[in-house]
């Protein structure tokens, strides 16, 4: 198999070969251009603390020590804000030699400030599956801003599969940009593509949203259901700057329009903490075709999930807050993001998760 991130048809071949298996048949809608959506199983375990099993220990071993109680997700259950849960996923892996995998929260999950990370038996890193791994997958869930109702079968995590070295060097990325622009304006390329925050919108003064501290529960089955004003405060500025509050969670937008060509995928990496007391909270994957079919490939804005840490911090318009690390595809996908599949955030502006009513 050619080096790179596996495309949709290659993921389908892995399913047929039993390298991806599941408690119930994998649905076509789970397969994205360069990733596979993972389904929650039927049981959630409330645990005392987040954990990694470490070498020579299984997740089940750790649950025996840390489990407080368990609950069925068959008909839905409330996960309380600030609590940690572990949920076995329906999918399991038998990776061949030379292939590894990486997981991430899906876009809607991150925009709810629902921290979710995949762990494996003998795992020493969150969201990373080592070469040749053969075993089950688990999701660690910790709602940060809102308590949520989750149900078995819901899709909160996604996983990509990497064959060999997949990441583009800075020189390779510049060559891609020279052939097909990957960002509006001059690219800032250093260990990936840097992107900045937009605090001077073309119209109006709305630049983002800040999560309210005391809200009702959000049922993840309810799409376009909730009034944003019940859960979010609008963040407005005419000065091109805002002050981030310690511990607060924000939805902001990138200044740049970003494009992922069909031969590439990308992963959002958190920016270095040395640039300020905040971070782009959730890493995430960008499928081939993101921003590609908008106005002939003019790009789509990236929505930023930002959390401030210990001290208040002034965030300025145009300040670099993160980077996209581009990867080569092993094969071109049969379908691109936004083309013939349900892609909620193609061509997006400043946008909350799909659970909220938006004008």
Residue 354 CB burial class (10 angstroms; 0-12, 13-18, ≥19): middle
DSSP run (H or E) holding 37: strand 36-39
Q: Please state, in angstroms and rounded to a whole number, the distance separating the CA atoms of residues 77 and 142.
A: 14
In a shared domain, residues 175 and 270: yes
| Last residue within a domain, chosen from 133, 163, 193 | 163
Q: Is residue 152 part of a domain?
A: yes
Q: What is the pLDDT of residues 314-350, one digit of tens each?
A: 999 999 888 899 999 999 999 988 755 544 444 457 8
Total structural domains within the chain: 2
Are residues 271 and 153 part of one domain?
no
| E strand or H helix at 137 | strand 134-143
Rounded distance between C-alpha atoms, residue 303 and residue 192, angstroms: 18
Based on the fold, state whether residues 29 and 146 are members of the same structural domain. Answer: yes
Domain end position, chosen among 122, 143, 163: 163
Domain contains 340: no
Q: pLDDT of 239-256, one tens digit each?
A: 999 999 999 999 999 998
> In terms of domains, do 130 and 176 share one?
no
Residue 181 lies in a domain: yes
Position 155 in a domain:
yes
Do 207 and 136 fall within a single domain? Answer: no
Nearest to 327 by CA among 175, 168, 169: 168
13 and 145 in a single domain? The answer is yes
For CA atoms 109, 184, 173, 30, the dihedral sign is: positive
Instruction: Tell me the pLDDT tens digit for each residue of 83-128.
Output: 999 999 999 999 999 999 999 999 889 899 999 999 999 999 999 9
Q: How far apart are CA 86 and CA 53, in angstroms?
A: 12
Q: What is the 3-state secondary structure (H, E, C) of 20-33?
A: EEECCCCCHHHECC
Same domain, 49 and 65: yes
Do 317 and 243 belong together in one domain?
Answer: yes
List the domain range (segments joined by +) for residue 217: 170-328
Q: Specify if 65 maps to a domain.
A: yes
Same domain, yes or no: 189 and 144: no
- Whichever domain contains 267, its CATH number is 2.70.40.10
What pLDDT is attached to residue 295?
42
Q: Of 163, 189, 207, which residue sits at a domain end?
A: 163
Measured distance CA(186)–CA(266) in Å, rounded: 19
């Amino acid at each position: 198999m050619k080096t790179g991130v596996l495309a949709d048809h290659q993921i389908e071949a892995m399913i047929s070969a039993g390298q991806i298996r599941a408690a119930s048949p994998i649905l076509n809608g789970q397969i994205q251009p360069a990733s596979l959506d993972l389904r929650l199983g039927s049981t959630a375990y409330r645990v005392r603390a987040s954990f990694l099993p470490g070498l020579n220990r299984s997740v089940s071993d750790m649950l025996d020590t840390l489990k407080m109680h368990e609950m069925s997700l068959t008909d839905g259950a409330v996960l309380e804000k600030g609590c940690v849960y572990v949920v076995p996923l329906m999918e399991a892996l038998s990776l061949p030699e030379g292939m590894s995998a990486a997981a991430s929260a899906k876009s809607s999950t991150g925009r709810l400030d629902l921290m979710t990370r995949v762990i494996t038996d003998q795992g020493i890193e969150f969201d990373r599956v080592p070469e040749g791994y053969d075993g089950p997958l688990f999701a660690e869930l910790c709602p940060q801003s809102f308590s949520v109702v989750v149900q078995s079968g819901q899709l909160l995590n996604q996983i990509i599969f990497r064959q060999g070295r997949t990441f583009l060097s800075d020189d390779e990325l510049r060559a891609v940009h020279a052939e097909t622009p990957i960002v509006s304006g001059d690219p800032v390329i250093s260990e990936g593509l840097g992107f900045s925050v937009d605090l001077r919108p073309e119209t109006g003064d709305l630049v983002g949203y800040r999560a309210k501290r005391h809200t009702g529960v959000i049922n993840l089955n309810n799409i376009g259901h909730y009034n944003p004003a019940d859960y979010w405060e609008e963040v407005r500025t005419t000065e091109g700057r805002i002050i981030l509050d310690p511990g607060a969670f924000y939805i902001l937008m990138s200044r740049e329009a970003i494009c992922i060509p069909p031969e590439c995928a990308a992963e959002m990496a958190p920016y270095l903490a040395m640039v300020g007391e905040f971070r782009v909270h959730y890493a995430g994957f960008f499928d081939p075709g993101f921003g590609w079919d908008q106005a002939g490939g003019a790009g789509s804005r990236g929505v930023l999930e930002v959390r401030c840490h210990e001290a208040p911090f002034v965030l300025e318009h145009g300040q670099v807050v993160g980077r996209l690390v581009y990867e080569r595809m092993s094969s071109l996908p049969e379908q691109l993001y936004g083309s013939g599949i349900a892609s909620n955030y193609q061509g997006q502006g400043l946008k909350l998760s799909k659970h909220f009513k938006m004008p």
